[in-house]
């Protein structure tokens, strides 16, 4: 992270993640029951690469969180108009066993975050053939 104050506003304020332990160089957040840590860095690379998934350019370096569908829809409404989406909220692999709602946006330091919810939670790690774009 380039600024821990921005991290606190984004993760704690906008996303509602309670803050845990911290120091002058890092902050722990409760990221929906998972720990995400914002470390202050003096320099970060600007390289951003993408991979095509279901016809969309997905940031290769990203962190993903799986939510229940109702949590996902609530979060999508909560951040609408307050973040710049890399990938707008929508359905991916519609009509397949891996059908899922997904959205991507970045934190203030440019770290890509993916939030998804599956129509069938049993498919989270199950192999299935993805449609070709």
Tell whether 19 and 76 lie within a shared domain: no
Give the Å distances, CA to CA, from 81 to 9, 85, 112: 16, 9, 17
Give the Å distances, CA to CA, from 23 to 1, 53, 86, 110: 14, 38, 31, 22
Nearest to 1 by CA among 113, 112, 115, 108: 108
The gap between the terminal CA atoms of the chain, to the nearest Å, is: 34
User: Given a cut of 60, is residue 132 above it in pLDDT?
Assistant: no
Report if residue 101 sits inside a domain. yes
User: Would the pTM count as exceeding 0.85?
Assistant: no
Q: How far apart are CA 96 and CA 82, in angstroms?
A: 31
Tell whether 70 and 110 lie within a shared domain: yes
Q: How far apart are CA 117 and CA 28, in angstroms?
A: 24
Give how many domains the chain has, as a whole number: 2
- Residue 24 sits in which domain range? 1-42
Tell whether 34 and 59 lie within a shared domain: no
Tell whether 72 and 23 lie within a shared domain: no
pLDDT in tens, 12-52: 999 999 999 888 888 889 988 888 888 888 776 666 677 77
pLDDT in tens, 87-112: 999 999 898 888 999 999 999 988 89
Tell whether 73 and 30 lie within a shared domain: no
């Amino acid at each position: 992270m380039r600024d821990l104050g921005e991290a606190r506003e984004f993760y704690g304020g906008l996303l509602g993640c309670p803050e845990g332990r911290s120091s002058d160089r890092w902050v722990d957040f409760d990221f929906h029951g998972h720990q995400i840590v914002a470390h202050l860095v003096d320099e970060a690379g600007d390289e951003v690469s993408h991979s095509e998934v279901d016809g969309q350019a997905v940031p290769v370096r990203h962190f993903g969180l799986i939510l229940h569908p109702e949590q996902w829809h609530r979060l999508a409404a909560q951040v609408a108009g307050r973040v710049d989406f890399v990938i707008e909220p929508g359905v991916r692999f519609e009509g397949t066993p891996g059908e899922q709602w997904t959205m991507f946006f970045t934190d203030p330091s440019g770290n890509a975050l993916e939030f998804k919810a599956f129509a069938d939670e049993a498919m989270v790690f199950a192999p299935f053939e993805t449609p070709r774009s």
